[in-house]
Structure 1
Amino acid sequence: MDSRRLLRISATALAVGGLVLSGCTSGSGAAAPSSSRSAVSGEPAAQAALARYYAQKVSWRDCGVADFQCATVRVPLDYAKPGADEVELAVSRSRATGPGKRLGSLLVNPGGPGGSAVGYVQGFAGIGYPAPVRARYDIVGVDPRGVARSAPVECLTGPEMDAYTQVDVTPDDAAERTALESSFKQFAAGCEKRSGKVLPHVSTVAAARDMDIVRAVLGDEKLTYVGASYGTFLGATYAELFPERAGRLVLDGAMDPSLSAEQLNRDQTAGFETAVNAFAADCVKKTDCPLGTESVPAALAHLKRFFREVDAKPVPTDGSRKLGESLATTGVITAMYDEAAWPQLREALTRAMGGEGSALLALADTYYEREADGSYANLMFANAAVNCLDLPPAFTGPAAVERAVPSFEKASPVFGRNLAWAALNCTYWPTPATGRPHRITAEGAPPIVVVGTTRDPATPYKWARALAEQLSSGLLLTYDGDGHTAYGRGSDCVDTAINAYLLEGIAPKDGKRCS
């Protein structure tokens, strides 16, 4: 794991969704930027330059994928200089199918940062969301700047990424610490070399401003939006900047924007410990559990022993790469995002412990979005670029990590050391952070539903409680269960509560609990 705060929906759980509706119809009444809290300087030239983006017309075309339409929307590269360079955002939508009156556009973001909303719409949301919603809403995905099809950040070649993902992230001596530092420095240098122009401009604030332009050019007076995982931070940031333009927002698997990078990393580490304990508790009840059937503590001790063994002697796979500790840990963590992947993890661990690591390597490749030809999607590049811009680095250097390791190991005896060292990645980032931890209240926004899962590995439940408390109109909906995010993952209680809000405007009671 090399980019902490990868608050994403994994490939095994991409069908998870959340839907948000606005009561506003589309049309020519979309708000202009003049009243925005995020407006650029009041100089007429700057205002006129920004207004041009809000007034642009979208030209839709056939995507070549089922019935989806695609387009591009232009936005300023730098909102401080909107008359200079620009970025083209990739947009895709599935049109409202009817029957019934069309109610507007429904924007979705699957998380990351770095997850492709275009891919999410075309692969899942546009065909898998509830039929009554798809009947009356255009479901729209916008790849944020720096992501996938929207001026993507690029950093390393496929072979370079292969090497990067195999670096030991639990250094045992000075040589291994130097190698880990060097890998982070090479990653950062590659990003600066290949994407230096866009790196200073891929913050979540910039992406939220982009969403307001997209909202306007789609013809919607209010933004209707679903944010999952990191997408909750993007949605909350939009509500903070544009509370008067927020429609009904559902933020599922929430982040706490008031925390520092070190706190976020430590909390997420604890979240994965909670998840692996739940996995172990389930595993020891199975006859095929590779960690034994004695007890949860014994199973977790077995897993830690396995990580030490592959650290000392990587396991061969059916390809040229071997499964060392870093990739093995990533494979296990991948399965923590969705309990439906636990049987796959049991089989992968059984094979790896028997000396064949291909199945566990495949889980790690899913996490990194590595293709069969050895190429990588830009997920990990965009993830680091956004995270390292949004917050100051978690650590100033290796000595700071060493001091923090005990607290990380307390949070997670299984993953703590690995995830503490992985949080060193932003230390060497070439672009200074522009964001800071802060509470988001979004005064003036309509009710915002914040959804938290009690044993969520990537976005711990306490983050949802914290965000709902910070938001002046926040309402907390709790799912007592496993996995990352809650809506659309099998709880009738959660789905019914959110559907009532989305389709009928009836918000769930603050504090409602589901299982």
Structure 2
Amino acid sequence: MSLHVLAAALALAAHVPCALTKASPTPSAPGKAKLMDATPFKLLEAGDDIHWEKCFSNSTAARKGSEVTCARLNVPLDHDNPSNEQAMQLPIVRVSPKYADPRRTVFWNPGGPGVDPTKSLAYTFPSLQEYVGNHTTVIAISPRGVGYTTPHITCAQDDPGPMSGNKPHTDDENVEAEMWEMTLPFDMLEGDLGDASLLQTWAAGRAYGMNCEATNGTLIPYVGTVHTATDMDYVRQKMNIGKIDFLGHSYGTILGATYAKLFPDNFERMVLDGVAPFSWYSNAHVREETTSGSRQVLDMFFKACYFSGLEKCALYDSDVEVIRDKFHSVLPKLRESPVIAEVHHNDKLKKFVAITETSWRDALESTIQNSDPGVWRQTAQVAADILAGRTPALQNPHHAGSNNVPTVNGHIESLADLARSASTRLSKRALSGGMEYFNLYLIHAADRGGWDRMPSADEIRTQILGDPKQDSVILDPWIPVLISTAANIKTKDAIAGFHNITTSGKVLFIGNTADAVTPNYNAKRFHAVFEGSGLFTIDGAGHCATNADPKNRCITKWIAPFFEHGKMPPANTTCEGKTDLLEGESIFDVASDELKRMGRSGA
């Protein structure tokens, strides 16, 4: 891997899946029928053909009349040598609406990598129908190395895998993950880019890669996006589908683009929403692909603050630039002197939490990605309190027993969520809080195909990182990819790049004008590479269409007709989404309504 490719690899920390709904499944108690609702794949035998069985009967989709079925399928470990007896077993979930059109089947991936879509499809399906229409069947496949796929692929030696028992992961595995995290330099996590920190982080990443090879050396070469895309086509054949449709968000756009490149005649319609950086798999790193989105979201916030006034924005001042300067002065103030904040969960509970430079960055990461109006209002109030020397008073929209307003993919949704976690580091959340994200590093590393030599700290700084602080108030996203790049994992089929691709199927790229995770720049770049593809822009803030278009007006008007009838939006179409970041329903409103239904008063 050249330094240019490494620079591209470091461009984005991790693609997070796009949250299509706030709902989450409630685990069932043991028992065969209930296990088919909670963890059906433990009860299903894998076969060489697909045998569907009903599952997730308590899911949102099933309760609304859709048929939810599951299966486990044997797929060749090496698709280039299918005669080899080695196989992977992949979980598959199918959701078919009551009046399904047999001609329309959409394969779906919400992002990641390292996220298992089979766990969420039955719960997000009603929201997905906004995209694909009310008569379309949707399929989710677990990517190899993720979730309930077997053989279990892990980089933690004490990890038996979720198929081994009721607990998804063992305490020993969490300890191993936390021990590994302790090798990361604290000053790097706090935002310092010193040479010693860079090299120490690189060494920790290399150790991670060596653990992967030591634990699953024979399986590691068969992990990655190319293999997952080939698995998708294998499932297509087993289902006797001539051409599939595909919907991918965030990292799912890389999976979809890879499928289109490898199987250009095997799909009819493809929507890639929240397009990941083009330069991940090319030799030209362009900073606009990775940092421009954060700046654009913040610019929208500063303008919304100015036009909303003090009633909605505590940072309001006489000029947008003054608001900008005030906001950016919070970080150095916290670096010099962290503050203690009150956290109010409800009328009867108050806690205290430290707001540091690191926790401020971490909170902003989720705030910028999801752009919830209530969270932005709280962020402005906290910033104003810090600058004025007041004790910030935070509200947490979450409460015990609530499944409707969780944090998103382990990220803290707001500053108040700091009280809910002993650590706010992305690495610890990824490793000990949700082990699926441990394989995020593995898939990232496999897709890059390895590294020729260890670069010097100067090369990492000048040719790879540059100075991300100049582009974003958040440094966290650079750390995980630095780790996965240093892992130096050799895979059989890495992604070679995307250049001059022609397909018989139609491809539509969606980008938001202010997406901090996958800036619109990337949708434009991919659109130029895929001949005859469409480009659709939502003028709004947030990661993927659902966040930038919370009322689904753009999705209903333009995306659903594309899936249902193949109608491509006219060239250069832009649809008005959410640009006033301080206006609209927020997670605080949802939590308040839920508390009222429970007979409790909100904080």
Describe the shift of the 1:128–1:305 C-alpha distance in structure 2 as closer, same or farther (beyond 3 A). Answer: same
Q: Could you say which residue in structure 2 is the equivalent of 1:328?
A: 360
5 Å-filtered alignment, 1:57-72, equals 57-66=50-59, 67=62, 68-72=68-72
Alignment of 1:187-202 (within 5 A): 187-202=208-223
After superposition, the C-alpha distances for 1:122-178 in whole angstroms (9 at most, x for unaligned) are 221x23233895653322211211222334654464454575697633226455445
What is the TM-score of this pair, normalised by structure 1? 0.77
Within 2, Cα distance between the matches of 1:101 and 1:362?
Answer: 45
* Cα distance in 1 between the residues matched to 2:558 and 2:270: 14
1:6-405 mapped onto 2 (5 Å cutoff): 6-11=14-19, 14=21, 56-66=49-59, 67=62, 68-82=68-82, 83-98=84-99, 101-124=101-124, 126-130=125-129, 135-151=134-150, 153-155=153-155, 157-158=173-174, 160-161=177-178, 168-169=188-189, 170-171=191-192, 173=194, 176-177=197-198, 179-259=200-280, 260=282, 263=285, 267-284=289-306, 285-287=308-310, 289=313, 291=315, 293=317, 295-311=319-335, 324-339=356-371, 341-347=372-378, 350=381, 353=386, 354=391, 358-360=416-418, 370=429, 375-391=432-448, 396-404=455-463
Alignment-mate amino acid for residue 60 of structure 1: E
Matches of 2:91 and 2:302 in 1, distance apart? 41
Post-superposition shift, 1:204?
1.0
Residues in 2 aligned to 1:249 and 1:217: alpha-carbon distance in whole angstroms:
20
Instruction: Please list the CA deviations of residues 407-449 of structure 1 after superposition, one character each: whole Å capped at 9, or x if unmatched.
Output: 444861533x655566422342141365355224442422211
Deviates more, 1:344-353 or 1:61-70: 344-353
Which SS does the other structure have where 2:544 is aligned?
coil
Q: Residue type matched to 1:384 in 2?
A: Y
Matched letter for residue 565 of structure 2: E
Alpha-carbon distance between aligned partners in 1 of 2:118 and 2:558, rounded to the nearest angstrom:
27
Q: Is the 8 A contact 1:290 1:350 kept in 2?
A: yes
- Correspondence for 2:3: none
- Partners of 1:132 and 1:393 in 2: CA distance: 37
3-state DSSP of counterpart to 1:331: helix
Partner of 2:592: none
Give the TM-score taking structure 2 as reference length. Answer: 0.67
Q: Determine whether 1:503 maps to 2:564.
A: yes
1:443 aligns with 2:502: yes
Instruction: Provide, for residues 305-356 of structure 1, a one-character-per-residue CA deviation record: whole Å limited to 9, x for no partner.
Output: 43345455666688999664444323211122222x2422442575584478
Q: Residue 242 of structure 1: CA displacement?
A: 0.9
Name the Cα RMSD after superposition.
4.0
Structure 1: which 5+ residue stretches go unaligned?
A: 17-52
SS in 2 for 1:478: strand
In 2, are the aligned partners of 1:255 and 1:467 still within 8 Å (CA)? no
Residue in structure 1 matched with residue 542 of structure 2 by the alignment: 483
* Equivalent AA in structure 1 for residue 227 of structure 2: A
Using the TM superposition, give the Cα deviation of residue 73 of structure 1 relative to its aligned residue in structure 2, in angstroms.
1.8
Aligned to 1:467: 526
User: Once the two structures are aligned, what percentage of the paired residues are identical?
Assistant: 21
Kindly indicate whether the alpha-carbon contact (under 8 Å) linking 1:331 and 1:367 is maintained by their aligned counterparts in 2.
Answer: no
Matches of 2:498 and 2:52 in 1, distance apart? 38
**Do 2:289 and 2:521's aligned partners in 1 also have CA atoms closer than 8 Å?**
no
Is contact 1:168-1:325 (8 Å) kept? no
Q: Is the CA contact (8 Å cut-off) linking 2:294 and 2:472 kept in structure 1?
A: no
Match of 1:432 among 465, 470, 490: 490
Contact 2:195-2:457 at 8 Å conserved across structures: no
On the 8 A contact 1:230/1:255 being kept in 2, the answer is yes
Conserved 8 A contact 2:270-2:507: yes
Contact kept, 8 Å, 2:536 with 2:572, in 1: the verdict is: yes
Please tell me whether the aligned partners of residues 61 and 69 of structure 1 are also in contact (alpha carbons under 8 angstroms).
yes
Structure 2 SS opposite 1:90: strand
CA-CA distance at 1:380 after TM superposition: 2.5
Amino acid in structure 2 at the alignment position of 1:121: L
Say if 1:146 and 1:198, in contact at 8 Å, map to a contact too.
no
Cα distance, 1:463 vs structure 2: 1.1
Q: Matched residues in 2 for 1:502 and 1:358: separation?
A: 40
The SS at the match of 1:111 is coil
Partner of 2:586: none
Q: Are 1:252 and 1:450, in contact at CA under 8 Å, matched by a contact in 2?
A: yes
Q: Decide whether aligned partners of structure 1 residues 368 and 179 sit closer, same or farther in structure 2, where only a CA change above 3 A counts.
A: closer
